[in-house]
A = this chain, B = another copy of it.
């Protein structure tokens, strides 16, 4: 099979998995992606490999994002964290010591750190908080799982508090 077709099959499977959610069976996934079981298993020998690929795609997209400033990056991070949650939960159930979590965390932090450091160097953002502290803080607020109208003024206040 030409390489382009192989890549297309892989993308079709991943797209179907994203759309179907993590709970769908491998047989149903093959049906939805329009590929045979052999193709599915050649690409993803098991559910763990499929979940890893979905997770890595989310992380890749987060790291590749070109956000205009640190606040925009943090807001994208919050959407990323909410979106990958379901995948991560199932992947943890399969393999809770998977190094992908630590590696991904480091990659994501590395994608935001230059924006924070530049803003701190320009004196736009206070420098008594680390990137880890800022993300822990906004994740704690997002973790309240209230509706966006309730949470948004909190995040606005936090971003105002980060400015100096």
Q: Is the interface of A mostly helix, strand, loop or mixed?
A: helix
Q: Is there an interface contact between A157 and B161, defined as CB atoms closer than 8 Å? A: yes
Chain B residues, CB < 8 A from A141: 137, 140-141
Chain A stretch 40-88: residues in CB contact (< 8 A) with chain B: none
Chain A residue total in the interface (Cβ 8 A): 21
CA gap between A148 and B162 in the complex, in Å = 19
Q: Is there an interface contact between B158 and A129, defined as CB atoms closer than 8 Å? A: no
CA gap between A70 and B162 in the complex, in Å = 20
8 cross-chain pairs, A with B, having the tightest CB-CB distances, nearest first: A161-B161, A157-B161, A140-B140, A160-B161, A137-B154, A128-B153, A129-B153, A140-B141
